[in-house]
């Protein structure tokens, strides 16, 4: 179809329609980008704890060596020290991010959420509890310490963090975790988790790449 001259009435209409379409597309893209930025930002206090636990772990196991059936309740991979250090680190990160939300937000042109103390604590503790619950399930299904449990390994801490933060800071959580943000979290988290664990394995701080 021939394009009408730009100064004719139909040409002007075409220009306007194109402009509106572009603006709509930009708005949609901005929303996706905004959801990605918000999702990563808001989950950082849940992403950190497991990595800190790997570095800080050791000492007394939480289950104190107890067994259930023929297997350990949780196993030697879940220790008090690792859990406490991971929770403290995630909570501290949330406090730091709250102070940075405004400057970083204007840098990336998005309103980044701050974390009330209980929200940060809920995300961090929840991430650790999710990982602990996963170990419980691994032991019940006969998997030894360190065995992989695909999907569970990648999502346990996210589900734990979400459940815990909704339980502890419901108002904040329901305002923060909009559907697009939740969708991005469930998509991006497994990828991020795989990348960090493979990296931790490559530099020798983790025994398995999962
Ligand atoms: N770790 C810890 N306390 C936790 C979680 C992790 O001390 N709550 C430390 C342990 O030294 C553990 C390491 O981090 O061995 C790696 O964590 P993870 O992969 O979760 O444990 P695994 O040893 O693989 O054990 P599991 O099979 O139960 O997941
Ligand atoms: Mg493991």
Residue 167 CA to its chain's centroid (Å): 17
Atom number, ligand 1, closest to the C-alpha of residue 75: 28
Instruction: Give the SS3 label for residue 67.
Output: strand
Largest CA distance in the chain: 83
Q: In terms of Cα–Cα distance, which of 165, 174, 196, 177 is closest to 39?
A: 177
The two structure tokens encoding residue 147: 């065995």
Ligand 1 neighbour 135 (Cβ under 6 A): yes
Q: What is the rounded distance in angstroms from the CA atom of residue 109 to the CA atom of residue 34?
A: 9
Averaged over 173-187, what is the pLDDT?
A: 95
Structure confidence at residue 35 as a pLDDT band (50, 70, 90): very high
Average pLDDT (164-183) is 97
Q: How far is the CA of 180 from the centre of ligand 2 (A)?
A: 30
**CB distance 160 to ligand 1 below 6 Å:** no
**By alpha-carbon position, which residue is closest to atom 14 of ligand 1?**
54
Whether ligand 1 lies within 6 angstroms of the CB of 72 is answered as no
Percent above pLDDT 70 for the chain: 94
Average pLDDT over residues 49-56: 97
**Ligand 1 atom at shortest distance from the alpha carbon of 144:** 27
What does the pLDDT average to over 174-188? 94
Could you read off the pLDDT of 12-34 as tens digits, one per residue? 877 777 766 655 665 555 588 99
The mean pLDDT value for 84-100 works out to 98
CB 74 within 8 A of CB 93: no
Residue count of the chain, please give it. 210
Distance (Å) from CA 54 to ligand 1 centroid: 6
| pTM score of the predicted model | 0.86
């Amino acid at each position: 179809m021939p394009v009408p001259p730009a100064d004719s009435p139909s040409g002007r209409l075409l220009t306007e329609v194109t402009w509106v379409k572009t603006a709509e597309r930009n708005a949609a893209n901005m929303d996706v980008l905004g959801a990605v930025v918000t999702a990563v930002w808001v989950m950082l206090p849940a992403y950190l704890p497991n990595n800190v636990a790997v570095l800080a772990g050791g000492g007394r196991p939480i289950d104190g060596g107890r067994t259930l059936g023929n297997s350990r309740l949780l196993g030697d991979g879940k220790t008090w020290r690792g859990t406490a250090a991971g929770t403290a680190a995630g909570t501290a990160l949330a406090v730091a991010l709250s102070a940075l939300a405004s400057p970083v937000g204007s840098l990336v042109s998005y309103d980044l959420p701050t974390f009330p103390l209980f929200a940060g604590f809920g995300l961090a503790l929840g991430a650790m509890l999710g990982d602990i619950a996963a170990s419980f399930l691994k032991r019940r299904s006969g998997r030894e310490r360190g065995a992989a449990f695909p999907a569970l390994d990648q999502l346990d801490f996210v589900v734990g963090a979400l459940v815990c933060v909704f339980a502890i800071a419901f108002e904040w959580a329901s305002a923060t975790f909009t559907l697009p943000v939740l969708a991005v979290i469930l998509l991006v988290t497994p990828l991020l988790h795989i990348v960090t664990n493979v990296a931790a394995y490559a530099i020798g701080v983790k025994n398995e790449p999962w």
